Amino acid sequence: MQPFTTLTGIAAPLPMINVDTDMIIPKQFLKTIARSGLGKSLFFEMRYDDAGAEIPDFVLSRPAYRNASILIAGENFGCGSSREHAPWALLDFGIRCVIAPSFADIFYSNSFKNGILLITLPQEQIDALMAQAERGANARFTIDLPEQVIETPDGARISFEIDSFRKQCLLGGLDDIGLTLQKADRIKAFEDRHRAEQPWL
């Protein structure tokens, strides 16, 4: 998993509440277990028409936001069914951080395990960030995870809270497998002892 320290990039405004995982990545794209290639199907039903052509008014179809790495969204983002493909699709598109008033619990956990920073802020701060994000590619935000600060295009600094364990995992680029491999020496020692004590198993 790619570590997350600081991120400077364009923020795409998505002022919608209750964006569920089926909106993020529809069910027909869940057949793959590969984490790559899902970015083109992110927000598929909002982003493309029935003929497969891009809907120009959707935020990620606009030239200013095609390279967005931050998403500013409404409350209860990521609700609905549990599907790890949702953070995979966001990450494959290039989104490394989502800022919203609230997130669904399972989506919240899955996102951190895949290297996406989720930031929860009060609605009034979300509204202010959304207004700045509307400026397009000229408005660049910086997310400083070590300092837990968002630097806005107008120079403001907004602090955010994050669980210390999740923060350390992001900084170290550690998913569940990475955390386990930190104890590789202890695991090997246990396996060697187990084989010596019970060789018949």
Cβ of 110: how many Cβ atoms within 10 Å?
21
- Domain assignment present for residue 193? The answer is no
- Domain assignment present for residue 168? The answer is yes
User: Tokens 């930031």 sit at which residue?
Assistant: 119
Owning domain of residue 141: 6-174
What integer pLDDT is reported at residue 105 of this predicted model?
A: 96
- Domain assignment present for residue 1? The answer is no
What integer pLDDT is reported at residue 197 of this predicted model?
A: 77
What integer pLDDT is reported at residue 111 of this predicted model?
A: 96
Q: List, in order, residues 6 or more apart from 136 with CB less than 8 Å away.
A: 10, 62, 64, 65
Question: Which residues lie across from 77 on neighbouring strands?
Answer: 103
What integer pLDDT is reported at residue 31 of this predicted model?
A: 85
- Domain assignment present for residue 93? The answer is yes
- Answer whether 130's CB lies under 8 Å from 13's CB: yes
| Average pLDDT for runs of 10 along the chain of length 201 | 95 97 94 86 96 95 96 97 94 98 97 96 97 92 98 96 95 71 61 72 65
- Domain assignment present for residue 46? The answer is yes
- Answer whether 14's CB lies under 8 Å from 153's CB: no
What integer pLDDT is reported at residue 166 of this predicted model?
A: 95
Residue spans of beta strands (DSSP E) within 101-174: 117-120, 140-144, 149-151, 157-159
- Domain assignment present for residue 112? The answer is yes
Closest C-alpha to 67, from 124, 28, 125, 10: 10
Return the CATH number at 157. Answer: 3.20.19.10
- Answer whether 96's CB lies under 8 Å from 43's CB: no
- Domain assignment present for residue 190? The answer is no
- Domain assignment present for residue 149? The answer is yes
Q: List, in order, residues 6 or more apart from 39 with CB less than 8 Å away.
A: 89, 90, 91, 92, 93, 94
Domains held by the chain: number: 1
Spatial separation of the C-alpha atoms in residues 134 and 90, rounded to whole Å: 20
Tell me how many degrees the CA angle 139-109-188 measures, rounded to the nearest 5.
Answer: 120
First to last CA, the chain: 35
What integer pLDDT is reported at residue 189 of this predicted model?
A: 62
- Answer whether 73's CB lies under 8 Å from 40's CB: no
How are beta strands 149-151 and 140-144 bridged, if at all? antiparallel
